[in-house]
Structure formats: structure tokens, C-alpha cells
């Protein structure tokens, strides 16, 4: 526990019994916190609060995949926006918490914040986003990318197969990683480009596979390689379920086949596979704001932009 001279007390929560305290500052992920604790995706020692007396003035929490023992994302960071010292309290809280949560010498986990699609046009929403970004910037983080969060809803038409492409399951992990490495040539995805600044395409693909695709809890035989009639691969899609939703986890077209509209066929195939499963209230997906071709493909397929996300990283 840390106590500042101005009576700001900063500490992790003691356990599930303090979820009500932690949730006094509302955010869209609050409904997931209890299940995350049960599943081990969050730990009480990763969920920190800053208190002034009994007033919650800031909070922060990290998340990981089930079974991991190190935090993967800083995905909850809130301030009491009525408090004139909210940003300062947030900086102090993060500094104290990161010293305990982030392993010494490690790069801090990425920060992600879900925001309304029109957050820049709404003064109150803009202040919320910019205050939290300002706090992170004081601790050395910088904006990496803004992303569109997308959703397909039951009743939205799914195009019938055009016949231009055939689809087959992915043969094995090696084929998946090789395809993932191939599509990094010319990628518009900011996270992938950031990875390529620090590692080879093969290393980036393998890391992405292990950190995300290998964690999906759905059958891998849902994944599809798209091919020309002669069997030549042109792209792939990984329809899946993560811990929260059915998702289009990864979708791409190989460089030599871009510009032919194949992305529409591949996305339709992934959507069909998920829509045919039981209990699919929605299908989620995401892409960078700047990845206009991919964003347009989701729009043509009937996906709606229900949120955006702000992603910040440390050098």
C-alpha cells in the first residue's frame, strides 16, 4: 500500500469482496470483471485503486489470457472526472501499480481503451479519452493506433459463395504461421508493422499465433484457407470464439492476390461459419482506422462500427 502526503491511498483490491468498490467508476468492461477473476484472467493484485478517504478517484487493472502468469494488457484505467486532480491521481496510481505489477525490466503491457465511435465530436467523451491519454503520456506511453470495433448481428444477410474461391481447413500450425508471415509483406496493420520493426516476419507471425490464435477456445477446423480452383492459396480467415464472443480473429489476402476483391469472399466464408453455430448473438471484429480496404470490406459485409479503441504502447 502507498500513501501520498495528500492522503491519497493506493493499493490493490483485497479480492472479489471489493469489486463493488472497484466498480464505482463505471466502464464497459465492468460486467466481465467477476468472470475474469474466476477464470484467472485477472488477479486482485493486478486491480489497483486510488482512494481519498472513501472516495475512489482512480483505478487501474490488467488482463491476461487464462493460464498466463503475467499481465498482457492494461485495459481498465479510470479517473473520477469530477475530481480536479483526477489526472494527477491517475499518474500516481499507475506509477505505484506498475512498479508492483510489471516485471522489472519488462516493457509495460499495451494500454487499450474502448471509446464511442464519435468520441471526438462529443465534448464530454473527448475529455474522458484525452485525460486518460494525458496520464499515460506522462508515464512514457504514446498512441500506437486507433481501431474500429465492428459487429455483425443476426439477421444481417451473408452473401452466398461466389464460386471464385474454394475453401479448406488449415492443415497444421506450420501452414498457419507460414501464411501469417507471408501476409505481413505490405500489411496496413499497425501492430504488425510495429512487430516488424523489432523482429522478422516469421518471428512476428509465430508470436501472434502463440499469443492470440493458440488461445482461442473454439475448434481450429473452423479456420479456412481460401484457394483458387487449382489449389493455390490466396488468403485465410480464422473464425473463432475468444473468452467473450464469436470473432473474426484474423483475415488476410496474400500480397500477390490483393486488389481482386477476394477479401469479400473470405470474410463472407468466415461469417457463414460463425453464423451457423449455436448461440451467436453477435460476431465481433476489429481493424485499424487507417486500414481503409479492410474497413470497407467489413462495411460491405454488414458489420457496423459500434465502438473504437485507443491503443497506446511504451517504447
- Tell me the per-residue pLDDT of 72-105, one tens digit each, with 9 for 90 and over: 999 999 999 887 788 999 999 999 999 999 988 8
Dihedral sign, CA of 23, 29, 33, 37?
Answer: negative
> Is there a contact between 265 and 226 (Cβ–Cβ < 8 Å)?
yes
Q: How many residues does the chain have?
A: 315
Instruction: Check residue 109 and give its pLDDT.
Output: 97
User: Residue 248's closest CA among 192, 202, 199, 294?
Assistant: 294
Model confidence, pTM? 0.92
Instruction: Check residue 228 and give its pLDDT.
Output: 97
Instruction: Check residue 4 and give its pLDDT.
Output: 62
Mean pLDDT of 204-226: 95
Task: Kindly report the average pLDDT of the chain as a whole number.
Answer: 95
296: three-class secondary structure by DSSP? helix
Count of helices and strands (H, E) across the chain: 9, 13
Question: pLDDT of 109-146, one tens digit each?
Answer: 999 999 999 999 999 999 999 999 999 999 999 999 99
Question: pLDDT of 253-311, one tens digit each?
Answer: 999 999 999 999 999 999 999 999 988 999 999 999 999 999 999 999 999 999 999 99
Beta strands in the chain (DSSP E): 2-3, 8-12, 47-52, 55-63, 73-79, 110-115, 142-152, 166-169, 224-227, 233-241, 246-253, 283-288, 304-313
Q: Measure Cα distances from 139 to 39, 91, 135, 228, 276 in Å.
A: 30, 7, 7, 50, 46
Question: pLDDT of 152-187, one tens digit each?
Answer: 999 999 988 999 999 999 999 999 999 999 999 999
Instruction: Check residue 92 and give its pLDDT.
Output: 96
d(CA 236, CA 179): 8
Instruction: Check residue 9 and give its pLDDT.
Output: 96
Instruction: Check residue 1 and give its pLDDT.
Output: 66
Amino acid at each position: 500500500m502507498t500513501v501520498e502526503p495528500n492522503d491519497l491511498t493506493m493499493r490493490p483490491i483485497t479480492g472479489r469482496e471489493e469489486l463493488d468498490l472497484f466498480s464505482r467508476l463505471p466502464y464497459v468492461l465492468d460486467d466481465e470483471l467477476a468472470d475474469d477473476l474466476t477464470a484467472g484472467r485477472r488477479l486482485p493484485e493486478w486491480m489497483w485503486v486510488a482512494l481519498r478517504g472513501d472516495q475512489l478517484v482512480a483505478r487501474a487493472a490488467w488482463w491476461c489470457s487464462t493460464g498466463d502468469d503475467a499481465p498482457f494488457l492494461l485495459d481498465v484505467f479510470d479517473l473520477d472526472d469530477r475530481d480536479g486532480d483526477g489526472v494527477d491521481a491517475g499518474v500516481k496510481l499507475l506509477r505505484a501499480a506498475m512498479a508492483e505489477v510489471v516485471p522489472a525490466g519488462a516493457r509495460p503491457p499495451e494500454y487499450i481503451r474502448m471509446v464511442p465511435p464519435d468520441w471526438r465530436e462529443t465534448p464530454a467523451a473527448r475529455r474522458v479519452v484525452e485525460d486518460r491519454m494525458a496520464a499515460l503520456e506522462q508515464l512514457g506511453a504514446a498512441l500506437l493506433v486507433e481501431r474500429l470495433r465492428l459487429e455483425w448481428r443476426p439477421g444481417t444477410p451473408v452473401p452466398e459463395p461466389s464460386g471464385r474461391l474454394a475453401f479448406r481447413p488449415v492443415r497444421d500450425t506450420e501452414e498457419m504461421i507460414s501464411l501469417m508471415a507471408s501476409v505481413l509483406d505490405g500489411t496496413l496493420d499497425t501492430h504488425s508493422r510495429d512487430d516488424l520493426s523489432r523482429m522478422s516476419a516469421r518471428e512476428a507471425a509465430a508470436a501472434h499465433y502463440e499469443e492470440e490464435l493458440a488461445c482461442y477456445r473454439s475448434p481450429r477446423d473452423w479456420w479456412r484457407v481460401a484457394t483458387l480452383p487449382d489449389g493455390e492459396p490466396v488468403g485465410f480467415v480464422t473464425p473463432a470464439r475468444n473468452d467473450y464472443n464469436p470473432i473474426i480473429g484474423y483475415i488476410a489476402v496474400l500480397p500477390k492476390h490483393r486488389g481482386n476483391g477476394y477479401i469479400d469472399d473470405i470474410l463472407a466464408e468466415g461469417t457463414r461459419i460463425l453464423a451457423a453455430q449455436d448461440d451467436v448473438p453477435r460476431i465481433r471484429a476489429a481493424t485499424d482506422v487507417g486500414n481503409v480496404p479492410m474497413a470497407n470490406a467489413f462495411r460491405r459485409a454488414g458489420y457496423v462500427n459500434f465502438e473504437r479503441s485507443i491503443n497506446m504502447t511504451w517504447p
